[in-house]
Amino acid sequence: MTEDEVRRNAFSMPIHNPAFPPGPYRFIDREFLVITYRTDPEALKKIIPAPLRYVEPIVKFEFINMPDSTGFGHYCESGQVIPVTLDGVAGGYVHSMYLNDHPPIAGGRELWGFPKKLGNPELRVHTDTLVGTLDYSDFRIATGTMGYKHRTLDADTIRKSLETPSFLLKIIPHVDGTPRICELVQYSLADIVIKGAWSGPGALDLHPHALAPVAALPVLEVLSAVHILSDLTLPLGTVAYDYLAK
């Protein structure tokens, strides 16, 4: 293999058998349970990286089931998103993500900088309740519940909320352990089709864990619970801020 062939094929590792295919990535019947809650503002301010700016003491805890996704197959994901602004642009800072499938863990971290770790999330309907759970190292760290399809929500409003930009802190180390890449990445979901959206009474229970500290942003008050069924595309991102630029 020549040097030019290495450069041309250097998309992901291992170079002869990448863990995931090139994007963009289409998701069919992607299902969300999003529980929005009020938390400790001082705890939030300690974890939001500048130049992102704090907005309000709000966190969105998401449980997501993805039964049909390009290159990634069927997997579930769960994590926390924090409302922020960057240069006046409102969006969400993705603070934590736990999922149960290696290709999207590798692809998410390498391409965009998603803060993905291996966990065991699940989203399912149990009789009259939509139930989201997240286990880490065989320990339940999050349980979200919502009354199943109590009220229908406006599809256009939900679509616009999903189109809001998201921000990620991407860190790739050099061989000596110092940062080779350290930047804020911005992306927005595209080609969104809302197949249904509902609200209902919601609850969220978080438990402390040394390696999965979702409870470090404590639940003070649940503000809303939303259930969404959609098709959408996850495009590649752009660099919004480079911490290493001179």
pTM, two decimals, is 0.96
Q: Give the model's confidence band at 4: pLDDT under 50 very low, under 70 low, under 90 confident, else very high.
A: very high
Residue 179: asked if its preceding bond is cis (omega within 30°), the reply is: no
| Lowest-confidence segment of 107-111, 132-136, 242-246 by average pLDDT | 242-246
Would you call 116 a catalytic residue per the annotation?
yes
The mean pLDDT value of the chain amounts to 97
pLDDT at 245: 93
- Where b means 16+ CB within 10 Å and e means fewer, 25-63 reads bbbeebbbbbbbbebeeeebeeebeeebebbebbbbbbb
| Interstrand relation of 166-173 and 89-99 (parallel, antiparallel or unpaired) | parallel
- Per-residue pLDDT of 26-77, as tens digits, reads 999 999 999 999 999 999 999 999 999 999 999 999 999 999 999 999 999 9
Position 246 scores a pLDDT of 73
Residue range 26-39, pLDDT digits in tens: 999 999 999 999 99
Query: Among residues 116, 117, 170, 246, which one is catalytic?
Result: 116
Q: What confidence tier does 244 reach under pLDDT thresholds 50, 70, 90?
A: very high
- Average pLDDT estimate for 161-181: 96
Confidence check: pLDDT of 24 > 90: no
Mean pLDDT value across residues 224-236: 97
